[in-house]
Amino acid sequence: MIDITTTTWKKSIVDSLFLPHEAEAIKGIPLSSRLLVDKLIWTETQNSIFSVRSAYKLAMKIVVSGSRGGSSDSSSLRRFWKWIWSLPIPHKVRHFGWRACREVLPTKTNLMRRKVVPDDTCKICKEAAESTGHVLWSCSNAKEA
């Protein structure tokens, strides 16, 4: 969708792929003339590395900001989990999601924190720590599934 020779949007392609208001929003995004390689950055952690815990905190911020005045964090948390547990999905999937949010899945990062394993490097890609976020989203193996 980007013409790398002129560093401009290929407007006809953007227009053909998106709804008009989406296309206008995309074409309004300024492009860098330096053609830097894209990279993913997670802004919710200091090291820019995704963690389920930080995603959970972000979700809670959204829930709290979406609530209308006078709501305490604990009641927002209760409503969030009540909503999660009411989703029409198999119980084992809800339970897995709950375990992922609570950082209690037996990932190597969690096992290393409990001194069960000495190293938390992902056995599959060997590129990062095997955290919950890595296993579920950022590992090259997870992206293929």
Contacts to Zn ion by CB under 5 A:
122, 124-125, 139
129 vs 112: CA distance, rounded Å: 10
- Maximum pairwise Cα distance, the chain: 55
The least distance separating Zn ion from the CB of residue 138, rounded to whole angstroms, comes to: 7
The least distance separating Zn ion from the CB of residue 129, rounded to whole angstroms, comes to 9
The residue (of 1 and 124) whose beta carbon lies closer to Zn ion is 124
* Gap between the Cα atoms of 84 and 79, Å rounded: 9
Query: Between 2 and 124, whose beta carbon lies closer to Zn ion?
Result: 124
The minimum distance between CB 106 and Zn ion, in angstroms, equals 15
**Nearer to Zn ion by C-beta: 51 or 76?**
51
* Helix (DSSP H) and strand (DSSP E) numbers for the chain: 8, 2
Q: Measured from the CB atom, is 76 or 132 closer to Zn ion?
A: 132
Q: Which long-range contacts (CB under 8 A, 24 or more apart) does 105-109 make?
A: 105/132, 105/135, 107/131, 107/132, 107/134, 107/135, 109/134
Cβ-contact 48, 42 below 8 angstroms = yes
In whole angstroms, the minimum distance from the beta carbon of 139 to Zn ion comes to 3
Q: Residue 122 in contact with residue 134, Cβ under 8 Å?
A: yes
Tell me whether residue 13 or residue 124 sits nearer to Zn ion (CB atom).
124
CB of 56 to Zn ion, least distance (A): 21
